[in-house]
Amino acid sequence: MKPVSYLRAQSVEEAAAAHGGRSEARYLGGGTNLVDLMKLGVERPEILVDITRLPLDGVEEQAGGAVRIGATVRNSDLAAHPLIRTRYPVLSQAVLSGASGQLRNMATTGGNLLQRTRCAYFQDLSKPCNKRVPGSGCAAIEGIHHDHAVLGHSPHCVATNPSDLSVALAALDAVVELAGPGGQRTVPVTEFHRLPQDRPELDTVIRPGELITAVVLPPLPDGALSRYRKVRERASYAFALASVAAVLHCEGGEVRHAGIAFGGLAHRPWRARRTEAALLGTRPTPETLARAVEAELAEAVPLRDNAYKVTLAQDLATQVLEALIPSA
Ligand code: SF4
Q: What digits encode the pLDDT tens for the residues 188-224?
A: 999 999 999 999 999 999 999 999 999 999 999 999 9
Q: Which atom of ligand 1 is least distant from the CA of 127?
A: 6
Domain end residue (candidates: 52, 68, 86): 52
Does the beta carbon of 129 lie inside 6 Å of ligand 1? yes
CATH number for the domain harbouring residue 22: 3.30.43.10
Per-residue pLDDT of 45-61, as tens digits, reads 999 999 999 999 999 99
> How many angstroms separate the CA atoms of 164 and 152, rounded?
18
Domain membership flag for residue 17: yes
Does the beta carbon of 139 lie inside 6 Å of ligand 1? yes
- CA 141 / ligand 1 centre spacing (Å): 8
Domain end residue (candidates: 18, 34, 52): 52
Helices in 235-301 by DSSP H: which ranges? 273-279, 286-297
pTM of the model: 0.97
Does the beta carbon of 131 lie inside 6 Å of ligand 1? yes
Per-residue pLDDT of 156-179, as tens digits, reads 999 999 999 999 999 999 999 999
Domain end residue (candidates: 31, 52, 73): 52
Domain membership flag for residue 110: no
Closest CA to 117 of 131, 136, 133: 131
Per-residue pLDDT of 97-143, as tens digits, reads 999 999 999 999 999 999 999 999 999 999 999 999 999 999 999 99
Domain membership flag for residue 24: yes
Does the beta carbon of 306 lie inside 6 Å of ligand 1? no
Tell me which of 118, 121, 146, 147 to substitute to probe ligand 1's pocket, judged by most ligand atoms within 8 Å of the beta carbon: 121
Domain that holds residue 312: 225-324
Domain membership flag for residue 147: no
Domain membership flag for residue 74: no
CATH number for the domain harbouring residue 255: 3.30.390.50
The strands making up 242-251's β-sheet, listed across from edge to edge, are 225-231, 242-251, 254-263, 270-271
Domain membership flag for residue 48: yes
Q: Which atom of ligand 1 is least distant from the CA of 148?
A: 5
- What is the pLDDT of the chain when averaged over all its residues? 97
Domain membership flag for residue 162: no
> How many angstroms separate the CA atoms of 67 and 240, rounded?
27
Residue 328, pLDDT > 70, answer: no
Q: What average pLDDT does the segment 78-99 reach? A: 98
Q: Output the pLDDT for position 128.
A: 98
Does the beta carbon of 200 lie inside 6 Å of ligand 1? yes
Q: Output the pLDDT for position 327.
A: 67
Half-sphere exposure of 162 (CA within 13 A, CB side): 16
Q: Output the pLDDT for position 236.
A: 83
Does the beta carbon of 140 lie inside 6 Å of ligand 1? yes
Q: How many domains does the chain have?
A: 2
Closest CA to 211 of 73, 318, 51: 51
